[in-house]
Structure 1
Amino acid sequence: MQVQVNTSNGIENSDTLQAFATEYLNTSLSRFTADLTRVEVQLSDENSERKGAADKRCMLEARMNGHAPLAVSHHAENQDLAFRGATQKLIHLLDHQLGKQDRQDHRARETIRKDAPVAE
């Protein structure tokens, strides 16, 4: 899974931020790696130089094999909380989306329950 980090003018994009985001998302989304091709992270400062509550925003867009992209966003007082909150929302959304797909596809799977052989 590829992770791409983009930032707005108020937030510095560094190699450290890229490495942290890649490691954190790969760990957090490990059970979805077969379905995900790329996750885009967009960090922005909504109020720029003015201070205020919940002015940092993180938007995550997950690109999946054979599906439309899914996006979530989270506002918080610092970029770390915004990033972690958006990650939790993305996990919930992927659970819901892929769980729904599993429920629809389960009829096509072979059952593990087999009839006992008939003794003659």
Structure 2
Amino acid sequence: MQILINTDNHIGGDTKLIERAEATISSVLDRFGDQVTRVEAHLSDQNADKGGPGDKQCVLEARIAGQQPVAVTNRAESADAAVGGAVDSMAHLLDSRFGRLHHTKGGASIRHMSPE
């Protein structure tokens, strides 16, 4: 799974922030490595230099093999918290998506059961 981190002009895209974001994404979403080909994180500061509550935003987009990409958004006080919240939301979304794909409703049909 490839991980890309993008930042706007108001969030310093220093190597420490990028490494922390990659580590957070990797630690939570690695279990989807077979299904997810790429994850992109877009970090932005909604209020620029003004500050304020919940002004850091992380949009997380996951490219799923053979399906349309999915995205989640999270706002928080810091870039790290925004990434953490977005990753948790994405994990929940992917659990739901892949759970539905691999779950058969009910179970074996009575028509296909062998007589004993």
Segments ≥4 residues shifted beyond 4 Å: 104-107
Specify the structure having the higher radius of gyration (Cα). Answer: 1
CA RMSD in angstroms, aligned pairs only = 2.3
Q: 1:50 to 1:69 in 2, by over 3 A?
A: same
TM-score by length of 1: 0.83
CA distance in structure 2 between the aligned counterparts of 1:42 and 1:106, rounded to whole angstroms: 40
Partner of 1:32: 32
The residue aligned with 1:74 is 74
What amino acid is aligned across from residue 71 of structure 1 in structure 2?
A
Which whole-Å CA distance do the structure 2 matches of 1:56 and 1:74 have between them? Answer: 8
- Once the two structures are superposed, residues 45-99 of structure 1 have per-residue CA deviations (whole angstroms, 9 ceiling, x without a partner) of 0000112110110010000100100100001111111110000000000001111
**TM-score normalised to structure 2 length:** 0.86
Larger RCO (alpha carbons 8 Å, 6+ apart): 2
Unaligned runs of 5+ in 1: 108-113
Residues in 2 aligned to 1:36 and 1:106: alpha-carbon distance in whole angstroms: 27
8 Å CA contact 1:57, 1:75 repeated in 2: yes
Task: Note the C-alpha offset of 1:105.
Answer: 9.3
Identity of aligned residues (%): 38
2:42 aligned residue? 42
Amino acid across the alignment from 2:43: L
For structure 2, the 5+ residue unaligned runs are 108-113
Q: 1:33 to 1:105 in 2, by over 3 A?
A: farther
Count of residue pairs the alignment pairs up:
111
